[in-house]
Structure 1
Amino acid sequence: MSDMLGKYELRRVLGKGAMGTVYEGYDPVIDRTVAIKTVRLVGADSEDAQALEELERFRREAKAAGRLQHPNIVGVFDYGETDDIAYIVMEYVDGTTLKQVLDNGERYGVDEVVRLMDALLAGLQFSHDRGVVHRDIKPANVMLTAAGAIKIADFGIARIESSSFTQAGTILGTPAYMSPEQFMGQRVDARTDIYSTGVMLYQILTGDKPFDGGLTAIMHKVLNSEPLPPSALSVAVTPALDHVVLTAMAKQPEKRYASASAFAAALRNALHAEPSTGADQDRSGRGKSGPDDDDGTLVVQSARVPTSPLPATAPGPGAWRAATPRKNLPLAGIAVGGLLVVAALGGGGYFLFGSGHGDQPAMTSAAQAGPAEGAPAPAMPPAPQQAQAPGAQASAAPDPLRIAAAVGTLPCSFLTTGRDGEQVSLSGYIGAGAPRVALDTAMAKLPGSAAQIRNTVRTVDGPYCPIFDALRPYHGVTSGGSGLAMVLSGGDRPLHDGDPISIAVKLPAFPAHLWTVYFSNDGSAVRIYPTSSDGAHAFAANATKTLGDGTQGGARMQVGAPFGTDLAVSLASSTPFPAGRIPAEGNVASMTAAMTELLSKAVGSGGQVAMELHPVLTRPKGQ
């Protein structure tokens, strides 16, 4: 094909439906393969109600997914309309759907199921935190990349918080995966996605859906019947996994997990609590679910549904925290997440790095819930203490070694303990949701008063757990720091679209070589030192290198979309980093692999290493 749609080349047809076509496309401006989804454009006065509904859903998909930039969500890059069609330009995913895998009879081991679900739930938590409820989670809307990553697709019937387009009284979804409140036409919130994900987990573990049949039969079972425990159908499923699945599928929303991250944490705990044994087999005596045609999305307006004692669901998640969709790139530079990198040569500009958005699948994920992005952790409430006899002394505050033993190996953490006189401190970073809860729980169990521990650990919202976990083994939790530090010019405050990003890196207390990478909240990454114009060299002990300030050499940096919490990471080594091992751009997976390889080689050769992380909060103008 050689047709053009706006600036995009249409290369081949990927699929066709009653309302539109999906193409493989190409963006020649930034040399990227994309997927382009189209629907027929109809006027507001059209009498074709189905076409109008499809078009509205299509626009809603662009609006919902366009604000969600996450490694486990199919990215939306652009939206446009011609005289005849509307189109969405999306991330091109080289892979298949989970439905195709299940229809082919393929089965996963329990460990792999937990890994896939962890990634899926990370994407859902990110979506829910931004006020978007998917409402149609099912295997057909879960993409599996060639590298094994999970990506959620098709936000066509998503409900956006504060949107009035679809409210109570409308039934939308795919019957086999719909929650009781969806069948009843009640208002839905994030717990509807929890239910649908529980149904999908049931199917992945057993090969069967918990409820099957026609629409009426499924609705009756969902509202009135309990499914068989998954362990009744597969010996690979433990009672602990039964509990997780059936909790997610509870008929009353308040009895389900309160968030996707809580669901993920429970699933991980179930895996570690009771490892499965024996070969996976079907106990039901029934054949496994094969390909079927009942996975189409149902849309019923103003439906009359049976009454039920189920209460209406609570309002949806809190205020939307924007993740602005990508816009056209300015000729002066390349936007990478919250970072715009521009070459500083006589005031002119040229492309310094290629785009890192969506070209490579992100293979890892993080829990995405909890406090506001990058916000300092609130002070720990004192742990409950038993009454003491008069004159008794309170337990002494734990020393740094005891704190390190309690929290130093928590997943998705990068922590440091220390002591300043009588004051014990804990600092660093922890992933949102389950990791934060695990930290708070561990701290509450320590002896003494929490007031005796200066806890400044920051919760970081973003796909950074793999980075924390990869760097932690090379980081001395009780080392007190090596002197490597990063400071944002102007202080630790949110930066807005167009603001300069200047990072002063103070080198450690030994002569060192430096490598600094900027990770964006969409999972992409670029190396900001060394660059082609600001080459690598050894720094003296305690030297300072300023990055992002064009007047001091190297690349000038400024904030650009998408916005959120980005992360700058600096590594220092007394031995040089091999130039060929330091990619100029990549994603969380590729850069994390490169960092661990370099650190391993440096430590293996007897060198000293140091590392420092610094979140960078970026916002649109006016927010």
Structure 2
Amino acid sequence: MNDASAPTFAPTTWRHRFAATVLAAIGIAAIAVWPVHATTASDVAKSDAPADGETAPAAALPTPVEPPSPAVPDLSALRTALAEFQCAELEVAVGKDQRVAISGLTAGDTDPDSLALLAQDYVTGQRAAVEIERASPALCEPLTLIGALRTSNAGLAAPVSIRLEGGAGTVFNGGQDLVFDVAAPDFPAHLQVDYFTADGDVIHLLPNPLEVSGRVDAGSVRRLGERGAGGRFWSIGPPYGHELIVVIASPTPLFAAPRPEAEPASSYLPALKQALDAAPPATVATARFLKTRAP
């Protein structure tokens, strides 16, 4: 039995040996190949590393892309449109957030929503922020009366102007002196300076009993209300609120005889209209609101 079984298992033993030999050869080949790839990767890594004592180069950072600056809207057409509101003193500007803002004061029936809608017609795709204060409707009448003269004045190279101490938006407190300058237009003129109060009166600041002539040279500046200058001076008093200064510059005096220093606006305005109807064509005017309050 031993001799008979030996040949039976011999081929099987050979196959196992052959398989073992083949597997061993494959394993050696795999071991031989693997270090080659590992070495190649190591060499690449070593080639990128800095040598001893050298500084590694800084990685290149992407250049930041700055967002484009928003375009500043052109407000010239809107300003022209706002100037058509005769009973208002309106300003328009662009804020830091690039939003259009309309501010000022009105004695008429101008409403903020209408102004915001108007702005949309001139500034595409933007609704303006509107913040306006309201003055007495009685102040609308003198502004309407001089509306055409204000338009003519705005077209002059050197228009007549009112310069309040502290600039636009200054608030005058009770007891404070009213002091301001009037810049004459570019022709010798006679100034009529009127102060319309919140309660319906008008005070004629120039001419006045101490300064019977309102004549000024072309381009000159005349200060009114300064104490010690030899002329009239005025202090702010009640009633408080929004009031109005009107300056009319004409080549000849508007009135042949002096007006009372103070009178009801309702008596003065018809006389002023009559005087303006007869005034020379070069006559121009300007106006400025101011706000007064209790001390």
TM-score scaled to structure 1, two decimals? 0.31
Identify, as 1 or 2, the structure richer in helix.
2
3-state SS of the aligned residue for 1:559? coil
User: How many Å apart are 1:597 and its aligned residue?
Assistant: 2.7
Cα 1:527–1:444, aligned 2, differ >3 Å: closer, same or farther? same
The CA distance in 2 between the partners of 1:514 and 1:574, in whole Å, is: 9
Report the equivalent of 1:503: 180
Checking the alignment, whether the CA contact within 8 Å between 2:108 and 2:140 is kept in structure 1 is no
Give deviations 1:164-206, integer Å, cap 9, x for gaps: xxxxxxxxxxxxxxxxxxxxxxxxxxxxxxxxxxxxxxxxxxx
Residues 1:609 and 2:283 are matched in the alignment: yes
Q: Distance in 2 between matches of 1:533 and 1:414?
A: 31
The amino acid that maps onto 1:510 is F
- Deviation of the 1:480 alpha carbon: 6.5
Structure 1: runs of 5 or more not aligned: 1-392, 418-423
Contact 1:513 1:573 in 2 (8 A): yes
- Who is 1:471 aligned against? 146
1:503 shift after superposition: 1.6
User: 1:518 aligned to 2:195?
Assistant: yes
Q: Distance in 2 between matches of 1:594 and 1:575?
A: 16
Return closer, same or farther for 1:563/1:403 CA change in 2, 3 Å cut-off. closer
Counterparts of 2:227 and 2:187 in 1: how far apart (Å)? 27
User: In the superposition, relative to structure 1, how do residues 481 and 553 fare at CA in structure 2: closer, same or farther (>3 Å)?
Assistant: farther
Which residue in 2 is equivalent to 1:493? 170
Query: Larger Cα Rg: Structure 1 or Structure 2?
Result: 2
> Structure 1 pair 595/428, CA: closer, same or farther in 2 (3 Å)?
farther
2:205 alignment partner, SS class: strand
Q: Deviations over 1:307-332 (max 9, x none)?
A: xxxxxxxxxxxxxxxxxxxxxxxxxx
- Write the distance in 2 (CA, Å) between the matches of 1:591 and 1:496: 27
> What's 1:544 paired with?
221
Asked if 2 retains the 8 angstrom alpha-carbon contact of 1:410 and 1:439, the reply is no
| C-alpha displacement of 1:443 | 2.2
Does residue 620 of structure 1 match 2:259? no
Select 1:533's aligned residue among 210, 228, 231. 210
Q: Which among 557, 561, 569 is matched to residue 234 of structure 2?
A: 557
Which residue is equivalent to 1:85?
A: none
Letter in 2 for 1:468: L
How many matched pairs? 216
User: 1:471–1:450: structure 2 CA closer, same or farther, 3 Å change rule?
Assistant: farther
Task: Give the Å deviation of 1:469.
Answer: 1.7
Q: Which one scores higher on RCO, CA 8 angstroms, separation ≥ 6?
A: 2
In 2 relative to 1, CA 398–543 (structure 1 residues): closer, same or farther, beyond 3 Å?
closer
Aligned to 2:262: 585
The 3-state SS of whatever aligns with 1:518 is: strand
Residues 1:410 and 1:591: Cα distance change in structure 2 (over 3 Å): same
Could you tell me how far apart the structure 1 residues matched to 2:101 and 2:187 are?
A: 25
Q: Among 252, 270, 294, which residue is 1:575 paired with?
A: 252
* SS of aligned partner of 2:212: coil
Q: Deviations over 1:186-244 (max 9, x none)?
A: xxxxxxxxxxxxxxxxxxxxxxxxxxxxxxxxxxxxxxxxxxxxxxxxxxxxxxxxxxx
Deviation digits for residues 493-550 of structure 1 (CA, Å, limit 9, x no counterpart): 2222211111211111221110111111111111011111111142111111111123
Q: Which secondary structure does the structure 2 equivalent of 1:555 belong to?
A: coil
Identical columns (%)? 22
Shift of residue 553 of structure 1?
Answer: 2.4
| Letter in structure 1 aligned against 2:285 | M
Whole-Å separation in 1 of the counterparts to 2:278 and 2:101: 31
Counterpart residue type for residue 544 of structure 1: V
Q: Which amino acid in 2 is paired with 1:591?
A: Y
**TM-score, normalised by the number of residues in structure 2:** 0.60
Counterpart code for 1:552: A
- TM-aligned CA deviation for residue 440 of structure 1: 3.3
Please show how residues 400-411 of structure 1 align to structure 2 within 5 Å: 400=77, 404=80, 406-410=81-85
Counterpart among 597, 612, 615 of residue 274 in structure 2: 597
Q: Following the alignment from structure 1 to structure 2, what is the Cα–Cα distance between the partners of residues 485 and 584?
A: 22
In structure 2, how many angstroms separate the alpha carbons of the residues matched to 1:466 and 1:616?
A: 17
Superposition deviation, residue 439 in structure 1: 3.1
Distance of 2:237 and 2:147 partners within structure 1: 30
Shift of 1:593: 2.8
Mapped partners of 1:613, 1:411: distance in 2: 10
- What are structure 2's unaligned runs of at least 5 residues? 1-69, 93-99
